[in-house]
Chain A
Amino acid sequence: MSMTETPPRPPATPQAPPRPESRLRRFLDSDIFYSWKRSPVTILATVTALTLILIAILAPWIAPYDPFNPASLNLMDGFTPPVSQGPFSENWFLMGADNQGRDVLSTIMYGSRVSLFVGFMATMFAMVLGVGLGLTAGYNGGMIDAVIMRIADIQLSFPAILIALLIFGVARGMIPASHQESMAIWVLILAIGLSNWAQFARTVRGATMVEREKDYVSAARIMGVHPILILLRHILPNVLGPVLVIGTIGLALAIIEEATLSFLGVGVPPTQPSLGTLIRIGQQYLFSGEWWILFFPAVTLILLALSVNLLGDWLRDALNPKLR
């Protein structure tokens, strides 16, 4: 074997590596942004989702009425059809009014606020729990892995909504009656979160088992880096891609799950209606002709879940190098 000459020796003055370019710059140059730009459906879904989220956040400032202030309600406005009166009149309801005379548009704005809040919090909870348990199971293996994953398997064999109903029922039974109203939303978040962690745990565990065997993990172990630091600094960034995808799709699922629970009457209290509650109220009047009470909240829910789901689909494809 012929030996070529060695690389040049170091110059006299050492130099530090330059700082990396800004995150925004890198994002705009990235493949992800490129694939986003090239997909009209995704752009539309992003715009829809962001608009709905923005409306929900800004509801107290932009809603035409405050539907939860009994003083501003007038039962005489009940069942007013959409745009039946001229604009800027005393009681103009763009999307009509419901049985109690509340403006449907305003209740939707406030309702999606509740829906999104519960969805986000529940997904975050499920994500933190699932990723944590998945990392632990995948990295340690053995008994810990077996126990965690069997629990996940058992849970995945039941419909998520059933699990959520069970947890919801148990948790409500444990909370004193005086706190039930105020705690209801947190109980709901707990129930939906606990019913969704297994997906995260499964995916993360699989990815962790792959990463664990790679030499960069060995290199860190040889240096004596603490296992928790190895998990957080080395393995976590490498398993985050699939987590992001499941998280996005999970958000859509959590929103629908919350709507289902609220529709069944076990969700948020009626004083704080979510989209699901509004749909439940509306379906009582559907066949008597007051369609708008059901129609507008339902369309909002569909738009919200669909756009978030489409974003998740796109993210899955964009992060999968085999589909590029």
Chain B
Amino acid sequence: MSDVLLDVRNLSRRFDVSKPWLNRKLEGLEKLYVKAVDDVSFTVNRGETFALVGESGSGKSTIAKLIVGLLKPTQGEIFFSGQSLARGLSGAEARRLRRRFQMIFQDPLASLNPRWRVTDIIAEPLRVFERSMDDRARRLRVGELLTLVGLSPEDGVKFPHQFSGGQRQRIAIARALAAKPEFIVCDEPTSALDVSVQAQILNLMKDLQKEFGLTYVFISHNLQVVRHMADHIGVLYLGRLAEVAPARDLFEAPRHPYTRMLLDAVPDIEMTGRRRKKVEGEIPSPLSPPPGCAFHPRCPFANDRCKTEVPRTLGGVACHAVEEGRLSDLVQP
């Protein structure tokens, strides 16, 4: 039943952050790389939402860009319904593949060309992918899409700056849907919006998912948003996946110490009086990540093994303490 649409295998991406060549030679410096994404693997089932959560700098957006092809992976593979995306796309096959996925961005104002009218913005995928479509049909389709996302066809003549943040994100969603994709990467689609508007956009996205059987990769730093949206969740820490689990399991029985720390940091309205741990420390610099498990400087369960050996992902968790059963007695009720 679970039909894998996106399969990410051992994905890594590093960035060259060295100083210019002349400075390096004069100051005797080595080339410097940041490992933004390190050995990340996960699969996304058709029709489901896979959420990636993590702090700033954990590599969430890099993964999004790698999936849609804005960046090339340093290592690893991305398979989209069996076809490799990482090899680079070209030709007619590329167009067939590209029309099946789309992306929604964080800042809707920056993702809409300020000099284009909304009609032209939404029609852009149609111009690219539906070349035989005539102007009339295209405009009808744009009107249809605008109504679909809760705007009116009359809004098509306006420019993006004439809309509110939530309305702009609706326009971005309409553009993403224009060429009828099956897979959408959403890079923090609501974090630039007011809380009340966030809910509207999230519900719109859920409704559209049901209506068109869309598959989402949903990137967020907001655990509540993720809980509302996701079927599966991957928790990123410093470019590595700490834990991958079905959403319910992750929220009810988090296993990785980092996941626990994140969940403890969420205020709960019920005031359960549950004892909570404060989030300690900051995410370390990805320029010089700690050896061994990257989380060990902040982890209350770290031992000597954690300081030297990178944990392997076993059963969806990459943690020595979990693997050794040292945490079993500490699992929260």
Contacts and interface: CB of A to CB of B under 8 A. Distances in A.
Interface of A: 1-8, 10-11, 14-21, 214-216, 218-225, 234, 237-238
Contacts of A222: 68-70, 98, 101-103
Interface residues of B, number: 61
B156 interface: yes
B160 to A, nearest CB: 9
A238 B150 contact: no
Interface of B: 65, 68-70, 89, 94-95, 98-99, 101-103, 105-107, 110-119, 124-125, 128-129, 136, 139-144, 146-150, 153-157, 170, 175, 179, 195-196, 198-200, 202-204, 207, 224-225, 228
Contacts of B98: 222-224
Contacts of B136: 16
A218 B103 contact: yes
Contact of A17 (B95, B119, B124, B149): B119
B139 A224 contact: no
Contacts of A238: 113-115
B111 A14 contact: no
Given A6-B200, A16-B140, A17-B154, A216 B113 contact: yes
Contact of A10 (B94, B125, B147): B147
B115 A237 contact: yes
- For A1, A3, A11, A223, the residue with the greatest tally of chain B CB atoms inside 10 Å of its CB is A223
A225 B128 contact: yes
B143 A14 contact: yes
A215 B107 contact: yes
B200 A4 contact: yes
Nearest to A2: B199
B111 A219 contact: yes
Contacts of B119: 17
Contacts of A19: 157
Nearest to B150: A7
Nearest to A222: B68
Nearest to B90: A224
B199 A11 contact: no
A18 B199 CA distance: 30
Contact of A4 (B112, B149, B153, B199): B199
27 contacts: A1-B225, A3-B228, A4-B196, A4-B199, A7-B170, A10-B147, A14-B140, A14-B143, A14-B144, A14-B147, A17-B119, A17-B142, A17-B143, A17-B154, A18-B153, A18-B154, A20-B157, A21-B157, A216-B112, A218-B70, A218-B103, A220-B124, A222-B69, A222-B103, A223-B124, A223-B129, A225-B124
A2 B269 CA distance: 12
A219 B103 contact: yes
Nearest to A19: B157
Contact of A6 (B107, B118, B203): B203
B128 A224 contact: yes
Given A224-B98, A225-B128, A215 B105 contact: yes
Contacts of A18: 153-154, 156-157
Given A1-B224, A219-B175, A224 B89 contact: yes
Which has the most chain A C-beta neighbours within 10 Å: B99, B101, B103, B207?
Answer: B103
Contacts of B105: 215, 218-219
Given A1-B225, A223-B129, 7 more contacts: A5-B203, A10-B148, A216-B113, A218-B105, A222-B69, A222-B70, A224-B89
Contacts of B113: 216, 234, 237-238
Contact of A16 (B99, B142, B149, B179): B142
Contacts of B117: 20
B10 to A, nearest CB: 23
Contacts of B170: 7
A16 B115 CA distance: 21
Nearest to B141: A14
A164 B139 CA distance: 51
Residue among A1, A16, A221 with the highest chain B CB neighbour number at 10 A = A16
Nearest to A11: B147
Contacts of B69: 221-222
Contact of B204 (A6, A21, A215): A6
A6 B200 CA distance: 6
Given A17-B142, A222-B98, A7 B200 contact: yes
A17 B153 contact: yes
A6 B207 contact: yes
A14 B146 CA distance: 10
A225 B101 CA distance: 14
Contacts of B70: 218, 221-222
A20 B117 CA distance: 9
A237 B159 CA distance: 14
Contacts of A218: 65, 70, 103, 105, 111
A5 B117 CA distance: 28
Nearest to B185: A222
Contacts of B156: 16-18
B23 to A, nearest CB: 15
A215 B153 contact: no
Contacts of A4: 196, 199-200, 203
Contacts of B175: 219
B128 A223 contact: yes
Q: What 9 A-B pairs come out closest when comparing CB atoms?
A: A17-B156, A7-B150, A215-B111, A16-B139, A10-B147, A14-B144, A215-B105, A237-B115, A15-B153
Contacts of B111: 214-216, 218-219
Contacts of A223: 98-99, 102, 124-125, 128-129, 179
A11 B153 CA distance: 11
A17 B153 CA distance: 4
B16 to A, nearest CB: 12
A4 B224 CA distance: 15
Contacts of B103: 218-219, 222
